Amino acid sequence: MKRYLLKIIYDGTNFAGWQRQKNQCSIQEIIENALKIFLKEKTSITGSGRTDANAHAFAQYAHFTTEKEIDKKIILNALNGMIKKEIRILDIFEVDKNFHARFSVKSKIYQYHICLKDFQNPFKRGYSYHFSRKIDLDLLNKAKEEFIGKHDFTSFANKGSSSKNFEKTIKRIDITKTEDGIIIEIEADGFLYKMVRNIVGTLLKIAHGKLEISDINKILLSKDRRKAPMAVPAYGLFLKKVIY
């Protein structure tokens, strides 16, 4: 058996997320169906992790196994010709049989895009969260430091997380100014269900003056999702990079 790794980019607007689900269209299902046709065998793929409904990916990875020899150019042309245009397979690599798209991950990088202008460019409406209320960027930069390091992120994980370990290590949080707002970029050794969106929601509450920086530690220690603010919408979230 040979193991192959796919590099995938997608616009998640019209999908129920990465993971296959009953009676809903997912990115995983679409690619698996195309592989079944190409390989002439039922094929399951394992992603580096799931992304939420309406969230996007610049670089998602997924592996599959097959006994068949694969020509890289032929399979890329074939798969991209069969799948929806919102999804593209950027590359395919043969990897060691012990490689695992999820468990071999060293860290992941997510971006959350926010528009801070009074009016949002309608062409960016499905790709950035419009937060027109006034925020303090200096306060935002101070608050993000409270999340750096190893913490139990139970309070920032919604029900349905597939991870059994709620301790994650955030390596960095960078905030970059853009033409119409900011991008919050988070790198960690792993993420829980809606963790990024919950963290960003909390940071915006602080920057808007609705919470204190000291509240972050209280929320972390409480291990209670109800103590943290609501998650920001999924459409501003992008999986930027997976590091193996």
Cα–chain center distance at 211: 26
| 52 assigned to active site | yes
Residue 162 has what pLDDT?
66
The residue extents of the domains of the chain are 2-95, 107-243
Residue whose tokens read 């949080």 = 173
The rounded distance, in Å, linking the Cα atoms of 65 and 233 is 35
Q: Does the pLDDT value for residue 160 go beyond 90?
A: no
The rounded distance, in Å, linking the Cα atoms of 236 and 186 is 13
Q: Does the pLDDT value for residue 161 go beyond 70?
A: no
Residue 164 has what pLDDT?
77
**Which of these, 150, 146, 140, 156, lies nearest to 222 by C-alpha position?**
156
Enter the CATH code of domain 2-95: 3.30.70.580
CATH fold of the domain at 107-243: Alpha-Beta Plaits (3.30.70)
The dihedrals phi and psi of 219, each to the nearest 5 degrees, come to -65, -45
The rounded distance, in Å, linking the Cα atoms of 107 and 104 is 9
Q: What is the pTM of this model?
A: 0.95
Instruction: Classify 140 as helix, strand or coil.
Output: helix
Instruction: Classify 48 as helix, strand or coil.
Output: coil
> pLDDT digits over 81-109, tens only?
999 999 999 999 999 999 999 999 999 99
Residue of 11, 52, 96, 189 marked active site: 52
Given this chain, do its domains 2-95 and 107-243 carry the same CATH topology? yes
**Interacting residues of 57 by C-beta distance below 8 A, sequence separation 6+:** 8, 9, 10, 12, 18, 51, 238, 239
Q: Does the pLDDT value for residue 196 go beyond 80?
A: yes
**Interacting residues of 118 by C-beta distance below 8 A, sequence separation 6+:** 132
